[in-house]
Amino acid sequence: NGRVQVISLLRNPPVFMPPNSGAGGAASDLEVFPSADDLPEGYIAIDGEVYDLKGFDHPGGESINLFGGNDVSVQYRMIHPFHQGKGAVNKMKKVGRLASSRLDYKFGSDFEKDVIAAVAKVVKPSERFATPGFWFRCGAYVTAYAGLTYVYVTKGSSLPLCIAIGMSQASIGLNVQHDANHGAVSASPFWNDLLGFGADMIGGCKYLWLQQHWTHHAFTNDITRDPDASSTDPFFLFHDYGKETPVRKAFHMFQHFYMVPVLAMYWASSIFNTNVVTLQHAGAAEGGMKFANSYREAHRPISIALRSLYLGLYCATPFCWHSWPTALSHVWTMAVSESLTLAIPFALSHNFMESERHPVANGQACWYKAQVETSSTYGGYIAGWLTGGLNYQIEHHLFPRMSSAWYPYIQPAVREVCKKHGVNYVYYPNIFANLASTFQYIAQVGQGIYERRVKAA
């Protein structure tokens, strides 16, 4: 189709040739894999070197095994910004190397070093997890969710209750499961794993979220690898495709008029997505990440059981209290309420005027610089409490494994380093200003007149 043709034209990845030897022995002692596509499920590749996950007691928990069989060079650095040298890599058994691998991003720039050092002065790396304020916020949202659900199931639904339930579920998504599934709640994987299942209790799926969202974070706005960049194609375009590309249609000229209805379908797109059965996120797979491993298979029953529980609680219950037209209207009201509360903050984050849509168009790019220039930040503390700190999207993308409670504290330091290095930091005073910019961007993308901001590496 047209989109595949466009992506094919955009792909021109640089190739990194790993060294002939390294820790673990000479080249003759190591198996050579042609590319990451040839890695078995228990192996991962970092910087062209292949490691065996078997027997590795990962401090962050067993979820690392979900990524077995992939090149995780970017993901490794993304969640370990404060590690010195190779860090945990030295604790894994090196078993081989890649003959060649894709390396779109570079690390170790002066900007990266300065922003990490500046943030470390504000938040000690060992203290970057949940604060008392986060736990209070988490408890408040979970309590509201549980209370509203109790009334919804035992007393029957109503339109106001369905609106409240939808907003409550979105709050769990923004404030609880998001931090947890980033490993940002606690140094102990127990709390991250437990609260991470909040994704399933709002109609999503923890393991699909890990596949999709971590891939999005690693390759933000790269149309060839970021599943979010093409998530609504071909009906609605978030990405700045060329004006003459086949994916563009006449109706996209008017897409800013139907953006809100598209976002209102977010819940339905999750509930009716068969990926929960296969537990393979299609967008992440299209971007080159494969999750066909035994860890995924072992957790499929859990995901299916939790999805069944969700459908029973929130979709079937209204039919026990009302006629089917009323029940259907109540479920749909809940769905739209949750969708808009969740999707609007996420849509703003990377789709706005000045957004960098082609971060690796000129070859290797500084990953940290790309994260800043593909994201925006708006508002302050109040917006942070409502959105789980996701209004600080720049700070979140720079330090995804830091609790959202810390983002307002590190923001001044991040802005100062960006100013020093000439990195474009986009800030809006409130959500409405960001939303206006997003509508303008979506209109220009639909008309094919958005000025592409291709940056030098």
Q: What is the pLDDT of residue 16?
A: 46
CA distance 67 to 390: 25
CA distance 246 to 320: 48
32 pairs with which residues across the strands? 97
Q: What is the pLDDT of residue 444?
A: 94
Provide DSSP, 201-246. Answer: GGT--HHHHHHHHHHHHHTTT-TTT-TTTTTTTTTS--S---TT-T
Both structure tokens of 447:
């008309």
CA distance 16 to 455: 21
DSSP state of 80: -
Query: How far is the first Cα of the chain from the last one, in angstroms, to the nearest whole number?
Result: 31
Q: Are 352 and 437 in contact (CB under 8 A)?
A: yes
Both structure tokens of 438:
């997003």
Compute mean pLDDT per 10 residues along the chain, 457 residues long, and list them.
Answer: 44 45 53 93 92 86 91 93 72 91 91 97 95 96 97 96 97 97 95 97 96 96 94 94 86 96 96 91 90 91 96 97 97 98 94 93 93 97 94 97 97 98 97 97 92 45
Q: Which residue has the tokens 């996950």?
A: 53
Tell me the helix, strand and coil percentages in the chain, rounded to 5. 55, 10, 35
Q: 153 — alpha (psi -120 to 50), left (phi > 0) or beta?
A: alpha
**List of residues 6+ apart from 399 with CB closer than 8 A:** 81, 119, 128, 410
Q: Is the dihedral of CA 58, 61, 66, 70 positive or negative?
A: negative
CA distance 408 to 392: 7
Q: Are 217 and 72 in contact (CB under 8 A)?
A: no
Q: Is the dihedral of CA 50, 56, 60, 65 positive or negative?
A: positive
Write the burial class of residue 326 (CB in 10 Å: 0-12 exposed, 13-18 middle, 19+ buried): middle
Q: Are 97 and 22 in contact (CB under 8 A)?
A: yes
**List of residues 6+ apart from 81 with CB closer than 8 A:** 116, 398, 399, 401
CA distance 454 to 358: 6
For residue 360, give the nearest of 351, 371, 352 by alpha carbon: 371
Q: Which residue has the tokens 């040839």?
A: 38
In three-state secondary structure terms, 321 is helix
Tell me the pLDDT tens digit for each residue of 268-311: 999 998 899 999 999 999 888 999 889 999 999 999 999 999 99
Cis peptide before 19 (omega within 30 of 0): no
